């Protein structure tokens, strides 16, 4: 019980943070929460919680003829057998009773994955009694109790997906402020949980995330273990569709079916073994003695942990004093030093940066993004730099800056923007990049006047450079890196108009043989996101391939993908190109600015490669090594593309897009690293 409660506290405290960031006050909070949980457990021993009275049932047999006496006897024996089995099982069991096929009864139970055996047994016992009370003359029924599901039938349902009846429950007092809009946080959370929960051995998953650091959402999914993983996903997906119909403006809801369960709350409801069963009258004093002993033990353990942490801090302080290259780095968050020791990145004094930017004067400002502002600087030796200054009010941006600092310092390639130094001093958090005088790609590409600089040869060079940069990230660097935010504004151009990929704040690095991951926090920019990432949180190198495909089509057409969503709902640049391709009118896509310089055969090959990259199935998309080969070779054989996916647009994913990309080309800097993110808010 203690170990499970310890896990529960850790889940609440550090689910979304690094374990190394726990400080002294966290240890005391840890102790206080433990005492609270055990006090709560004690209170449960002396009263019956109202939640246990909250149940739903369905008597499925509508026949007016009562089951035979033999069937009723078999049913009673079955319920007794299920109850006995639940006392020693791991939360799931199915049984049959009776040898005569006409009177044979089938039954199963499954308990919530976070409850202990005794609570599961108690729940199955109570459910059996309630089924007998509410469905006395029914040959088939199902009951949902707070911690378990029990069902029986005169037909063999084992291994069969059963999604009806579906019983919704919701809190009528907790509504969304926007009428008619389904809670987008729920869709994002539940889509991730459906994938995660259906793949576990116990067929359940839970998760909690914070919205803007002020609100929490808690999700739960679970399936009966007699169905397959794929059937589990199907069952849960059907429930989520029903939720959007029944509970459109509700913040709190639960929905049940015979084969799966889904719950969404604003308050924690996970048990994790910390809630005890109702105590027997004679055991009250013994329970309190046990609780007091356990609490004292926890307090002693917390003091020991405090002491160990204190001496560890002393050791770190000595190590920091010997690391002159990092001082005075991360003065506000000392644990960040651990993450930056091996970045091989020089420090630049704040005084030097202030002098080079004239104290961050407006005349030196290059642009502004979601993270803060970018300034141009001129060092004493005449070198030009771009300084990315994190906004002091940007909480989210700190993590992106740390990620970029640790990651990009290990990457070196001619088509990646070069990070020169960093400075974290006096509440300032700064990254210093090479200065690129020709701004970002979108600054030129989508402007009629500036777009004339980009003839066909220049655009082909940019496409090849971007492809080689992504290939380096995916296959040739020390880390396998997924960028996750490839777009025209994140492609910077040097003095010779060579492309350099920027903004690694949202990038993820893989180690070993890992080539994909799943996340509930989906980040990026609409129009460039692969569908499996936007809708399911699944990202891989093929997610970047999709983004590259969209970017390639924008470069050769001179058209913004987002413009298609604005002009025609449901339309996208890939779909538009696909329709032209099918009609053999690919050249109609051509940007008028490159008609004189363009080579038609090369142009059609680029369309072909772009369509291969934006195919709906990630497995069908080529790798970046294949893309680089196809671009470079005139003899490479290109397979026929399939219909593109609908890239996620402004109206998709329940309007959960937070697009911070600049709407004005004039404000985009030579080194702007914008942050456009899809997340709950």
- Give the 3-state secondary structure of 249-279: CECCEEEECCCEEEEEECCCCCCCCCCCCCC
Q: Which of 247-256, 296-305, 351-360, 651-660 has the lowest mean pLDDT?
A: 651-660
Q: Which residues are catalytic?
A: 485
pLDDT at 430 (0 to 100) = 86
pLDDT surpassing 50 at residue 121: yes
Query: What six digits make up the tokens of 182?
Result: 């389904």
Which residue reads 């069969």 in tokens? 160
On whether residue 225 sits in a domain, the answer given is yes
Looking at the fold, whether 142 and 209 belong to one and the same domain comes out as no
On whether residue 95 sits in a domain, the answer given is yes
Distance CA 584, CA 461 (A): 26
Looking at the fold, whether 478 and 627 belong to one and the same domain comes out as yes
Tell me the sheet residues that pair with 516.
540
Average per-residue pLDDT in the chain? 75
| Boundary (domain end) residue, out of 125, 153, 181 | 153
| Boundary (domain end) residue, out of 277, 295, 314 | 277
Looking at the fold, whether 603 and 470 belong to one and the same domain comes out as yes
For 483-498, the DSSP string reads: -S---GGGEEE-TT--
Per-residue pLDDT tens digits for 344-379: 567 889 999 999 999 999 999 988 765 678 899 999
Per-residue pLDDT tens digits for 476-525: 877 788 888 899 988 999 989 999 998 877 777 765 555 566 655 556 67
pLDDT at 516 (0 to 100) = 60
Residue 369 in contact with residue 440, Cβ under 8 Å? Answer: no
On whether residue 37 sits in a domain, the answer given is no
On whether residue 162 sits in a domain, the answer given is no
Residue 38 in contact with residue 122, Cβ under 8 Å? Answer: no
Mean pLDDT of 630-658: 67
pLDDT at 571 (0 to 100) = 74
Mean pLDDT of 278-290: 51
Looking at the fold, whether 351 and 271 belong to one and the same domain comes out as no
Half-sphere exposure of 594 (CA within 13 A, CB side): 26
Looking at the fold, whether 394 and 422 belong to one and the same domain comes out as yes
- % the chain with pLDDT above 90: 32
CATH number reported for the structural domain that contains residue 121 in this entry: 3.30.430.20
Structural domains of the chain, count: 4
Tell me the sheet residues that pair with 429.
424
Assign 3-class secondary structure to 439-464.
CEHHHHHCCCCHHHHCCHHHHHHHHH
Looking at the fold, whether 630 and 494 belong to one and the same domain comes out as yes
Distance CA 474, CA 510 (A): 9
Tell me the sheet residues that pair with 209.
217
Looking at the fold, whether 652 and 576 belong to one and the same domain comes out as yes
Mean pLDDT: which of 136-145, 203-212, 288-297, 543-552 is highest? 543-552
> Residue 570 — pLDDT band, cuts 50, 70, 90?
low
Mean pLDDT of 229-236: 89
Per-residue pLDDT tens digits for 610-642: 999 999 999 999 999 999 999 998 888 899 999
Distance CA 448, CA 28 (A): 61
Distance CA 243, CA 248 (A): 7
Q: What three-state secondary structure class fits 336?
A: helix
Assign 3-class secondary structure to 622-649.
CCHHHHHHHHHCCCCCCCCCCCECCCCC
Tell me the sheet residues that pair with 425.
428
Distance CA 233, CA 313 (A): 46
Main-chain phi, psi angles of 82, to 5 degrees: -65, -40
Query: What six digits make up the tokens of 279?
Result: 């105590």
pLDDT at 411 (0 to 100) = 79
- % the chain with pLDDT above 70: 68
| 661 against 224, higher pLDDT | 224
> Residue 310 — pLDDT band, cuts 50, 70, 90?
confident
Query: What six digits make up the tokens of 487?
Result: 């777009």
Per-residue pLDDT tens digits for 36-77: 444 444 433 333 333 334 688 888 876 666 788 899 999 999
Distance CA 424, CA 408 (A): 17
Looking at the fold, whether 533 and 657 belong to one and the same domain comes out as yes
Mean pLDDT of 453-471: 94
Looking at the fold, whether 575 and 637 belong to one and the same domain comes out as yes
| Boundary (domain end) residue, out of 277, 295, 313 | 277
Looking at the fold, whether 144 and 256 belong to one and the same domain comes out as no
* Torsion sign across C-alpha atoms 283, 288, 293, 299: positive
Residue 338 in contact with residue 433, Cβ under 8 Å? Answer: no
pLDDT surpassing 60 at residue 308: yes
On whether residue 429 sits in a domain, the answer given is yes
Q: What is the dihedral of CA 447, 449, 453, 454, to 10 degrees?
A: 40
CATH number reported for the structural domain that contains residue 495 in this entry: 1.10.510.10
CATH number reported for the structural domain that contains residue 395 in this entry: 3.30.200.20
Q: What three-state secondary structure class fits 50?
A: helix
| 448 against 294, higher pLDDT | 448
Looking at the fold, whether 348 and 484 belong to one and the same domain comes out as no
Per-residue pLDDT tens digits for 187-219: 777 777 887 777 777 788 888 766 655 677 788
Looking at the fold, whether 418 and 352 belong to one and the same domain comes out as yes
Residue 472: domain span: 441-678
On whether residue 646 sits in a domain, the answer given is yes
Which residue reads 């202030």 in tokens? 354
> Residue 13 — pLDDT band, cuts 50, 70, 90?
very low
On whether residue 36 sits in a domain, the answer given is no
On whether residue 38 sits in a domain, the answer given is no
pLDDT at 523 (0 to 100) = 62
How much is the pTM? Answer: 0.48
């Amino acid at each position: 019980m203690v170990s499970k409660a310890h896990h529960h506290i850790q889940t609440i405290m550090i689910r979304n943070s690094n374990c190394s960031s726990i400080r002294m006050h966290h240890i005391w909070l840890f102790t206080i929460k433990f005492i609270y949980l055990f006090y709560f457990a004690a209170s449960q021993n002396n009263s019956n919680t109202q939640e246990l009275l909250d149940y739903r049932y369905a008597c499925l047999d509508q026949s007016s003829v009562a089951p035979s006496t033999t069937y009723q006897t078999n049913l009673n024996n079955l319920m007794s057998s299920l109850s006995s089995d639940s006392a020693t099982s791991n939360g799931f069991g199915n049984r049959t009773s009776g040898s005569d096929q006409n009177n044979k009864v089938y039954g199963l139970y499954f308990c919530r994955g976070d409850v202990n055996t005794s609570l599961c047994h108690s729940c199955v016992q109570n459910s059996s009694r309630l089924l007998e009370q509410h469905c006395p003359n029914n040959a088939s029924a199902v009951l949902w109790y707070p911690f378990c599901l029990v069902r029986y039938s005169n037909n063999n349902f084992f291994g069969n997906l059963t999604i009806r009846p579906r019983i919704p429950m919701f809190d009528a007092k907790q509504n969304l402020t926007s009428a008619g809009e389904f809670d987008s946080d729920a869709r994002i959370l539940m889509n991730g949980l459906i994938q995660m929960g259906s793949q576990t051995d116990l067929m359940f998953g839970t998760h909690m995330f914070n919205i803007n650091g002020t609100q929490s959402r808690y999700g739960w999914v679970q399936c009966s273990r007699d169905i397959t993983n794929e059937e589990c996903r199907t069952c849960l997906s059907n429930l989520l569709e029903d939720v959007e119909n029944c509970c459109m403006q509700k913040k709190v809801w639960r929905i049940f079916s015979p084969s799966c369960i889904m719950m969404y709350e604003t308050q924690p409801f996970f048990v994790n073994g910390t809630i005890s069963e109702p105590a027997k009258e004679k055991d009250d004093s013994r329970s309190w003695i046990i609780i007091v002993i356990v609490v004292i033990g926890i307090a002693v353990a917390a003091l020991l942990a405090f002491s160990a942490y204190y001496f560890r801090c002393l050791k770190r302080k000595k190590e920091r004093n010997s690391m002159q290259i990092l001082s005075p780095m991360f003065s506000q968050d000392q644990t960040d030093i651990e993450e930056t020791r091996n970045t091989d990145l020089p420090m630049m004094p704040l005084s030097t940066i202030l002098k080079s930017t004239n104290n961050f004067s407006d005349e030196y400002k290059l642009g502004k993004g979601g993270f803060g502002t970018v300034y141009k600087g001129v060092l004493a030796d005449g070198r030009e730099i771009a300084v990315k200054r994190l906004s002091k009010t940007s909480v989210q941006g700190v993590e992106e800056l740390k990620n970029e600092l640790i990651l990009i310092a290990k990457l070196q390639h001619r088509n990646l923007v070069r990070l020169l130094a960093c400075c974290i001093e006096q509440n300032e958090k700064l990254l210093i990049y090479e200065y690129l005088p020709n701004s970002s790609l979108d600054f030129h590409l989508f402007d009629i006047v500036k777009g004339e600089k980009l003839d066909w040869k220049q655009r082909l060079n940019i496409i090849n450079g971007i492809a080689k940069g992504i290939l380096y990230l995916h296959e040739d660097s020390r880390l396998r890196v997924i960028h996750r935010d490839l777009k025209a504004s994140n492609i910077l151009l040097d003095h010779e108009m060579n492309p350099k990929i920027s903004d690694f704040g949202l990038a993820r690095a893989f180690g070993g043989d890992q080539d994909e991951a799943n996340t509930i926090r989906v980040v990026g920019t609409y129009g460039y996101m692969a569908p499996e990432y936007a809708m399911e949180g699944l990202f891989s190198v093929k997610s970047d391939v999709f983004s590259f495909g969209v970017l390639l089509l924008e470069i050769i057409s001179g058209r913004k993908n987002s413009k298609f969503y604005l002009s025609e709902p449901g339309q996208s640049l890939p779909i538009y190109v696909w329709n032209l391709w099918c009609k053999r009118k690919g050249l109609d896509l051509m940007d008028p600015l490159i008609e004189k310089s363009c080579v038609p055969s090369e142009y059609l090959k680029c369309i072909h490669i772009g369509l291969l990259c934006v195919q709906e199935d990630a497995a069908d998309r080529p790798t970046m090594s294949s893309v680089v080969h196809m671009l470079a070779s005139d003899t490479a054989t290109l397979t026929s593309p399939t219909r593109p996916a609908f890239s996620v647009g402004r109206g998709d994913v329940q309007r959960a897009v937070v697009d911070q990309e600049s709407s004005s080309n004039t404000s985009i800097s030579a080194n702007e690293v914008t942050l456009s993110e899809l997340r709950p808010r």
